[in-house]
Structure 1
């Protein structure tokens, strides 16, 4: 089966909607951006799972998803946890704990990546549920 360009276009649209919401465009097209905000993240999550397959072993599946989603989140988060105290924004322990637990307190720099641990959790839950349900 070849690439599905419709899915590629839909993924691109969902990414553009997310970026537009977080950019200055949201001030110019506020009503339009707000009305589309109801679909942008559900569309992003739906498209992330549209080709979901669970043929891998659990260890391999979770490892791939961890590497793709959680490594960037943890590396960036821990990088910020080290850097921010040097510029007078909190302490390392508070930031590192926030990265691990995914909390927002005093760690707004990482809030833009909230979807990575959530998407990882959704993938893990979907794998466990779909592997154990006979359809």
Structure 2
């Protein structure tokens, strides 16, 4: 190799390895349809067509939970998996509610004490206590992710795979029948009663949403 060739080789820019992420077309299409349906479900579309509005709500949220199950990663250790899901879904949730209440203090007449009370309620993480109710999905998705992990460990890894639909159906029916138990309920803490609507992070829905997420795993 001549000196000129060596210099050309040395001065050649180092190419970076580009990892191509293969997109799954039908998943991207399903996500797009789901996002459109969410937008339609959270506006005045119900006034135009109440039947279509109810139809949308009958399947667009189950579809999102189903797709979350499709990308479930069962091989990670639990703490690593929980940290991964925390970073993916709970961090954006916490950022958004902090941003919302900081903006409320900065750009409206909401005082710090009032914003602090609303922030504490928002950390309960269900739709009843969130001013921006659409955010309920993120903390609940975190809970559903943990449910899917434990369900996989309890059913798939222990050879109960043939019984998965029986187990899921029992949990689903129990979840549907038990929803009204917590809307509202009155816990007694240190002799003082409270009226609370729903469980933290919408845990009262986890058997229902977990059914669709686990369905996506199969």
1-structure distance, mates of 2:94, 2:84: 15
Matched, 1:7 2:15: no
| Structure with a larger share of its residues in helix | 1
Q: Relative contact order (alpha carbons < 8 A, sep ≥ 6): 1 or 2 greater?
A: 2
Aligned to 1:88: 109
Contact kept, 8 Å, 2:74 with 2:149, in 1: the verdict is: yes
TM-score if structure 2 supplies the norm length? Answer: 0.54
Moved over 6 A (4+): none
Q: What do the CA deviations read for 1:55-86 (whole angstroms, capped 9, x no partner)?
A: 11112111111111011110110122233245
Contact kept, 8 Å, 2:90 with 2:139, in 1: the verdict is: yes
Bigger Rg, structure 1 or 2: 2
Matched, 1:131 2:153: yes
Contact kept, 8 Å, 2:69 with 2:148, in 1: the verdict is: no
Unaligned runs of 5+ in 1: none
TM-score if structure 1 supplies the norm length? Answer: 0.83
What is the CA distance between 1:97 and its match in structure 2? 0.8
Unaligned runs of 5+ in 2: 1-21, 162-218
Matched, 1:37 2:57: yes
What is the RMSD computed on CA atoms of the aligned residues? 2.1
What is the CA distance between 1:132 and its match in structure 2? 3.1
Aligned length: 132
